[in-house]
Structure 1
Amino acid sequence: MQAQQDRNGDIGVIYPMLEGLQHLINASFAETLQQVAEKLIGGEKSETISSIIGLIENSSIHIRNFATGKKSNNIEIAITGYQIVLSNREPRSEKWTQTQNNLATAYNNRVNGSLAENL
């Protein structure tokens, strides 16, 4: 998320970084993301929370679209990220709706679980 913020989401920087850290993008990363988000969001001002949520969403998009690594892990991490974002956005706002769309796309591409449950 720090690279996302520092590089303004430049995929020319983000994807090579993810490539180098691919060994860390595993099944437990989604749980780590949840824990880190809770610590970052807890007690922050609404402006800071909005910034953190934006970084989590953009990072989730990058991880979901990351072609290297294990697709199932990438999608599970993205789903967790989108759920964190949704729980901190105003329901039915434009940004909330965009995140719902991202979550739907992730579930549509999900490898884990049954197709019916994911849909």
Structure 2
Amino acid sequence: MSLKFWSGMNPRVGLKLADKLMVGNIDNGETEHISIDDLATLIGQAGASGSLRKNGYRWIKGDGNVSLTNYEEGDEIIGVGTLYPGFVIHGYIKATPTATPDDYITLLSSVKL
């Protein structure tokens, strides 16, 4: 019996941390499984190390950008960080990043801490 991934399966109701997810191993191409708890741990470690965030800001579109070279026009930013010290900002990337944030970020709002 052949089953098509997701379209030939029943939906999961009552998701649990021990439930399994199918993943493709990037190193060897094998199909393997992990638990949702494993995924949560990985995301937590990546967030703690800074690899999913930049300068204390959350990058909405393109979330996970870790260097200016990865930023894209249209990325939305919300947060507190080093680009505008002492301010909570909301804005978006309007151009290719340069040394001066005002040249490539359009602020929609900023609130002094």
Asked whether the two chains share a fold, i.e. TM above 0.5, the reply is: no
Pick 1 or 2: higher relative contact order, CA cutoff 8 A, min separation 6.
1
Calculate the TM-score normalised by the size of structure 2.
0.26
Larger relative helix fraction: 1
Higher Rg of the two aligned structures: 2
Larger relative strand fraction: 2
Calculate the TM-score normalised by the size of structure 1.
0.25
